[in-house]
């Protein structure tokens, strides 16, 4: 009887769970040198050489006012995004996640200019969301700025305890005291692999700190594990938020951006605490994608979402600028859906007006009933079935509805072939670089043995998948 009542109560509290919203913005990559008098062949900067030559070369043209696919963000794009967020859902949101790479190393800014740019971005977001808190995470391109100065800029958003931790380490946690969940903000710069540091020309300084090669840089692992343990004891649920995600890049996979030892440790920890982790939110890849984490026995236990960048530019191929609005249950943190907004960049430039529109809603776009590790695992499986449109839909979202003629130069190409679908499928479901490579090669071998028969490789995937799952 008592048990029945409890069940009923729990059912009531789920049903009556208050619905809330939060924005996720990431990878703004503000470039103060962007100029509509510059040229698209040289970062959209107004460089001396192109002033000297007097005219722009015929294969180049002046940059559009809202940005270009091979350049980072002009102020006008960022301002239009802020206005769009305010207009679409400025009031009644719970908070804003801002997951880093506000700045760009390629812009070659001095520390003073970097701080000034961060200040301008902070002011813009403060004016956009006057009554709400914005919770930022550091990106790998936000380095070279003193943490104390950054903390000063963000002092109105972060509670005192968070500021104290942030100043020392760049990570912090937010307790939603009135609710039953809390948010953990990582400083993923502490866990980067050396190669991703070199690739991205990140200076070997991290806000004044030298990169730490120890097993637990700045004690972030100890801190994270303690937080998860405490949350479990208090029966709280958590979100984990950061800039650089674990796993491999789905567009040109192979290596993980995090150091392999940290990548492994992260996945292990998520498995261990999957019962209380209600969501993981990252940026960095600039593309729209997700990941599924499995238990040791192959059961999907947790998921991770990567929101696309505001900047249209990315080393792995461009995308349209994006903004994401999540819908969730505020008492449990359960994510219910999200709406992805985007700007069609060529249209905005030719109209001289930024018309941000809805690109898609998660549940409707993929025909899902809920967002859970299991439903996302099923979705990823559908990528490998040629009779299902899920991959075509996912791929359009991955580049934020990039115009076909631009996408053909960069991505899967006009023909969404099996190899491309597999790269995405393996990246989504295998966060460990070794298992990612196994996933790719086990399919590749099987595809090769199909030989010259002119059958779409995707045709074989359901069979291969079964075989492969059986071997896992
Ligand atoms: C920041 O804003 C101020 C005031 O509008 C402006 O003068 C300055 O050029 C801006 N700096 C950057 C880097 O955006
Ligand atoms: C950061 O700035 C603060 C105050 O401006 C200063 O006291 C501190 O020494 C600086 N830290 C580093 C690592 O440069
Ligand atoms: Zn970035
Ligand atoms: Zn990044």
- pLDDT (tens digit, 9 = 90+) per residue, 6-23? 444 444 444 457 999 999
CA distance 131 to 95: 9
Residues framing ligand 1 (Cβ under 6 A):
32, 113, 116-117, 120
Q: What are the tens digits of pLDDT across the range 254-280?
A: 889 999 999 999 999 999 999 999 999
Got the DSSP string for 253-283? -SSBSB-HHHHHHHHHHHHHTTTTEEEEEE-
Q: What are the tens digits of pLDDT across the range 416-443?
A: 567 888 999 999 999 999 999 999 998 7
**Domain presence at residue 394:** yes
**Domain presence at residue 240:** yes
CA distance 318 to 322: 12
199 within 8 A of 147, measured Cβ to Cβ: no
378: which DSSP letter?
H
Q: Helix or strand or coil: residue 114?
A: helix
- Say if ligand 2 is within 6 A of residue 208 CB: yes
Q: Which of 168, 161, 160 is nearest to 187 (CA)?
A: 168
**Domain presence at residue 114:** yes
| Ligand found nearest the CA of 140 | 4
Which structural domain range is residue 124 located in?
18-34+72-432
CATH number at residue 248: 3.60.21.10
**Domain presence at residue 453:** no
To the nearest whole number, what is the mean pLDDT of the chain? Answer: 86
**Domain presence at residue 67:** no
User: Based on the structure, what is the number of domains in the chain?
Assistant: 1
**Domain presence at residue 414:** yes
Specify the pTM: 0.89
**Domain presence at residue 358:** yes
| Ligand found nearest the CA of 79 | 1
**Domain presence at residue 251:** yes
How high is the mean pLDDT in each 10-residue block of the chain (472 residues)?
44 64 98 93 78 53 94 98 94 94 88 95 96 93 91 96 97 87 96 66 43 87 98 96 97 88 97 98 98 97 98 94 97 96 98 98 98 98 88 95 83 68 94 95 69 40 38 32
Q: Looking at ligand 1, which residue's alpha carbon is closest to its atom 3?
A: 120
| Cα–ligand 4 centroid distance for 149 (angstroms) | 21
């Amino acid at each position: 009887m008592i048990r029945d009542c409890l069940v009923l109560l729990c059912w009531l509290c789920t049903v009556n769970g208050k619905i809330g919203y939060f924005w996720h913005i990431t990878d703004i990559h503000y470039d103060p040198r962007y100029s509509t008098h510059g040229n698209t062949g040289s970062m959209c900067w107004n460089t001396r050489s192109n002033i000297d030559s007097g005219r722009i070369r015929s294969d180049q043209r002046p940059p559009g006012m809202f940005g270009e696919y091979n350049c980072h963000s002009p102020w006008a794009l960022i301002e239009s995004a802020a206005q769009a967020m305010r207009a679409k859902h400025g009031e009644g949101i719970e908070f804003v996640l801002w997951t880093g790479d506000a700045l760009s190393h390629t812009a070659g800014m001095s520390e003073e200019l970097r701080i000034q740019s961060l200040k301008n971005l902070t002011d813009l977001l403060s004016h956009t969301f006057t009554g709400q808190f914005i919770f930022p995470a550091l990106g790998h391109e936000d380095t070279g700025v003193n943490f104390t100065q950054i903390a000063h800029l963000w002092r109105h958003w972060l509670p005192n305890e968070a500021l104290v931790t942030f100043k020392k380490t760049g990570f912090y946690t937010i307790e939603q005291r009135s609710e039953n969940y809390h948010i953990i903000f990582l400083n993923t710069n502490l866990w980067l692999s050396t190669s991703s540091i070199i690739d991205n020309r990140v200076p070997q300084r991290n806000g004044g700190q030298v990169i730490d090669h120890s097993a637990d840089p700045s004690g972030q692992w100890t801190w994270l594990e303690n937080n998860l343990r405490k949350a479990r004891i208090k029966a709280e649920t958590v979100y984990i938020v950061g800039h650089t995600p674990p796993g491999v890049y789905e567009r040109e996979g192979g290596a993980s951006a995090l150091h392999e030892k940290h990548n492994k440790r992260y996945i292990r920890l998520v498995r261990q605490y999957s019962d209380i982790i209600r969501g993981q939110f990252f940026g960095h890849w600039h593309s729209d994608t997700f990941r599924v984490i499995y238990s040791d026995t192959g059961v999907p236990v947790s998921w991770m979402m990567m929101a696309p960048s505001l900047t249209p530019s990315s080393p792995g191929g461009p995308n349209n600028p994006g903004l994401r609005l999540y819908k969730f249950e505020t008492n449990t943190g359960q994510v219910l859906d999200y709406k992805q907004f985007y700007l069609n960049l060529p249209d905005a430039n030719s109209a001289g007006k930024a018309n941000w529109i809805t690109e898609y809603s998660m549940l409707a776009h993929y025909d899902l009933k809920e967002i859970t590790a299991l439903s996302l695992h099923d979705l990823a499986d559908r990528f490998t079935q040629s009779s299902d449109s899920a991959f075509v839909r996912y791929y359009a979202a991955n580049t934020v509805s990039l115009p076909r003629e631009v996408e053909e130069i960069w991505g899967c190409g006009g023909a969404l072939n099996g190899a491309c679908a597999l790269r995405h499928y393996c990246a989504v479901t295998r966060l460990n670089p070794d298992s990612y490579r196994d996933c790719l090669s086990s399919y590749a071998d099987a595809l090769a043995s199909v030989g010259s028969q002119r059958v779409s490789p995707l045709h074989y995937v359901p069979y291969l998948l079964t075989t492969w799952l059986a071997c896992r």
